[in-house]
Amino acid sequence: MLDPAIVTQLSGGRVLREWLGLEHTSAALMTDGGGADTGGRNPLPHGTSIWTPGALFQFSPQARPKGQPWDNCYRYNTLTREKLIATYFGYQFSLMYPTATDIIASTAFEIECELCENGLAYDMGWQYKPSLVDGPPAWRWFDEGVKPKKWNMVPGLPAPHPLPSVWTTGFALFSVNRDTRMTTHEAIVIDGSFFPVGVTHRAEQKWSPQTNYFHAAVQLDSDGKGTAYSVGIRGWNVRAL
């Protein structure tokens, strides 16, 4: 039986939307989210970042006292504020740490898309964590619908072991169900190997009912000591169907 989304596409009622080469987005369109940690924006002292289209993402974080969340840098690009007639979403990307020093300084690299309809946010976030902070190195998915918000490991995914100047590629696939207000992390392809995921989590009412957007974002998580580091990003493509 054909999926209803495919039937709608073949009948002309739905089209594939693509945003390609997002690593070339201008720095002016890559908004700094303001020192975000897993809990979101915070008013604590925040470091500086440089987004170089092409792209090199550099971050010089602020050191924060013990007990405060570490300074991270979340930069996002609003792809559209139109309501999307889409059920399936996917993004591709490659990441690279230029030096061994960058690897040591990085707690994690995070990437996401977020669909917001009438203030209800469907989050599609993955984390590449090479560090030992909060558990062993792992690819983890983000559950924004629980309190406190949480990163979760997926059994069977290869543990990150980055090498300087060596690229790691990912292709993440998602679906949303507006009736149940749920997001499903369907699968992820890591360096060409396909891994089913199949975890489902609730959307979060984050904003006013008048708020609509679809954005793409990346985040660099610091080591809490204020150590600067960089990550290279390429092949960053987003699609919605």
pLDDT of residue 20: 98
What is the band of 238 on the pLDDT scale with cuts at 50, 70, 90?
very high
- How many other CB atoms sit within 10 Å of the CB of residue 176? 20
Q: What is the 8-class DSSP label of residue 6?
A: H
> Across the chain, what does the average pLDDT equal?
94
d(CA 235, CA 168): 11
Mean pLDDT of 217-231: 96
pLDDT tens digits, 114-173? 999 999 999 999 999 999 999 999 999 999 888 888 899 999 999 999 999 999 999 999
> Per-residue confidence at 7, pLDDT binned at 50, 70, 90?
confident
Task: Kindly list the structural domains of the chain, giving each domain's residue range(s) and its CATH number in brackets, ordered by start.
Answer: 4-240 (2.60.120.200)
Q: What is the pLDDT of residue 40?
A: 64
Task: Return d(Cα 72, Cα 133) in angstroms, integer.
Answer: 14
pLDDT in tens, 65-102: 888 889 999 999 999 999 998 999 999 999 999 999 99
Look at residue 38 in the predicted model and tell me its pLDDT. 58
Residue 214 is encoded by which pair of tokens? 């679809």
Task: Examine the pLDDT at 35 and tell me if it is beyond 80.
Answer: no
pLDDT of 36 above 90: no
User: Rounded to two decimals, what is the model's pTM?
Assistant: 0.94
Q: At residue 56, does pLDDT exceed 90?
A: yes
User: Which DSSP category does 164 fall into?
Assistant: T
Q: 155 vs 13, which has greater pLDDT?
A: 155
Contact yes or no for 183/192 (Cβ under 8 A): no
